[in-house]
């Protein structure tokens, strides 16, 4: 699979280039609390500006329902992107309306604008192909070429991801190329031992991933809320801990398949439990087979942290998706911190699969350069690891000669 690159678009000086970026950053009011995705978008935008293109950036933020909502405006992103690029960034107050048309028309060579949130328009995420295509045509009318650089949405058939790429000369941006290359290195021919760490809340979110990995990985380390469904499948009592009750039989089948395939499954041996979910509740560490009936697990325990670190240490290829506990509460962040440190210290090729894991690494203060790749797309990275074809990637593949 070879993706079309920006070079394939030819001389871009004076050309209007529509760039689908991922600027879906967390906000506290209008304050950006994690600018990782904005920083990840800079290399592609800088390359286009240096080439003399007139760049119109489209992106989404949050989950508006196809109509403008002030709390989801991309306006707070404009200033931060300008700081990172070292240039003024214009802002259009709509996506394809008069403001967008005037803003793009006013751009000079090497100038850039952000258009307002794509998802303020129902056509962006519509399940109706004709409605998506109509919106994509309005977007395409603003530009001469298209660059797809929002990896976090390439697993979705959305107007700005899929249909626009059919309407304009299109290419993958530098971020999308880097994401695909890094994740293919994990999935296609991993150096062994190939170790995968999965955390987060629900087993059901990662069913396809686990199934695929049972034929590929050497070791599967399971933490976070999903670990309790695995413990339940082994016949252990888990108190009030998070349980994917409908998946217990499926997980039991996974454990049997893993044993048959020689895949090592590593589960928590101790757990930090509390009577309820909260930042300041009383907690204690118990063995994983001794969870009290009236308590719930909120983090892996210290013995598990040591066990997981030992199982991570010899990995030649490592993929991590999902925190080990409720890392947003300092009291229950130790397990995720321990795993983040172990992954950072691993000499193998390390990939953090976006979403909460990426946020945890940054929020806990780890130097991002200690990891080989931190994905900007949780869902997209999981679907690639699962072996699915991603529509926003497939549409960028070079035509067979």
pLDDT for residue 400: 53
Say whether 325 counts as a known binding-site residue. no
Summarised one tens digit per residue, pLDDT across range 256-309 is 999 999 999 999 999 999 999 999 999 999 999 999 999 999 999 999 999 999
State whether the Cα torsion 361-365-366-367 is positive or negative: positive
pTM given for the model? 0.91
- Whether residue 8 is annotated as binding a ligand: the answer is no
Helix residue spans in 201-349 (DSSP H): 207-213, 227-233, 248-261, 302-313, 334-345
Torsion sign over Cα 346, 351, 357, 360: positive
252 is in an annotated binding site: no
Question: Known binder of ligand: residue 60?
Answer: yes
What radius of gyration do the chain's Cα atoms show? 22
Which residues are catalytic, by number?
A: 37, 202, 355, 379
Decide: helix, strand or coil at residue 352: strand
* Angle (nearest 5°) at CA 99 between 75 and 117: 40
Q: What is the pLDDT of residues 164-221, one digit of tens each?
A: 999 999 999 999 999 999 999 998 889 999 999 999 988 888 988 999 999 999 999 9
């Amino acid at each position: 699979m070879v993706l079309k690159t920006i070079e394939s678009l030819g001389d871009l000086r004076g050309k209007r280039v529509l760039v689908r970026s991922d600027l879906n950053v967390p906000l506290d009011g209008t304050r950006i609390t994690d600018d990782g995705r904005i920083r990840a978008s800079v290399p592609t935008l800088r390359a286009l500006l240096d080439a003399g293109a007139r760049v119109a950036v489209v992106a989404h933020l949050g989950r508006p329902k196809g109509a403008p909502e002030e709390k989801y405006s991309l306006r707070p992103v404009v200033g931060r992107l300008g700081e990172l690029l070292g240039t003024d960034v214009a802002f259009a107050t709509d996506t394809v309306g008069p403001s967008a048309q005037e803003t793009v028309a006013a751009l000079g060579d090497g100038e850039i604008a952000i258009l307002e949130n794509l998802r303020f328009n129902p056509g962006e995420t519509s399940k109706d192909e004709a409605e998506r295509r109509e919106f994509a045509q309005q977007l395409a009318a603003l530009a001469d070429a298209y660059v797809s650089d929002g990896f976090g949405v390439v697993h979705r058939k959305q107007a700005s991801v899929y249909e626009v790429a059919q309407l304009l000369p299109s290419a993958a941006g530098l971020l999308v190329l880097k994401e695909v290359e890094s994740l293919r290195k994990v999935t296609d021919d991993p150096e062994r031992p190939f170790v995968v760490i999965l955390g987060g809340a629900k087993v059901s979110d990662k069913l396809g991933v686990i199934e695929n990995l049972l034929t590929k990985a050497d070791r599967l380390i399971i933490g976070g809320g999903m670990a309790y469904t695995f413990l339940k499948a082994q016949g252990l009592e888990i108190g009030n801990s998070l349980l994917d009750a409908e998946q217990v039989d499926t997980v039991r089948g996974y454990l049997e398949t893993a044993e048959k395939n020689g895949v090592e499954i590593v589960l928590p041996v101790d757990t930090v439990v509390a009577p309820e979910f909260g930042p300041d509740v009383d907690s204690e560490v118990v063995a994983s087979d001794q969870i009290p009936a009236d308590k719930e697990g909120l983090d892996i325990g210290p013995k598990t942290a040591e066990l997981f670190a030992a199982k991570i240490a010899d990995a030649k290829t490592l993929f991590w998706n999902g925190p080990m506990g409720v890392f947003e509460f300092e009291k229950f962040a130790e397990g995720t911190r321990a795993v983040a440190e172990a992954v950072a210290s691993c000499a193998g090729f390390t990939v953090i699969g976006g979403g909460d894991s990426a946020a945890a690494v940054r929020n806990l203060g780890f130097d991002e350069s200690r990891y080989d790749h931190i994905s900007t797309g949780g869902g997209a990275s999981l679907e690639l690891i699962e072996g699915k074809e991603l529509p926003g990637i497939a549409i960028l593949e070079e035509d067979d000669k």
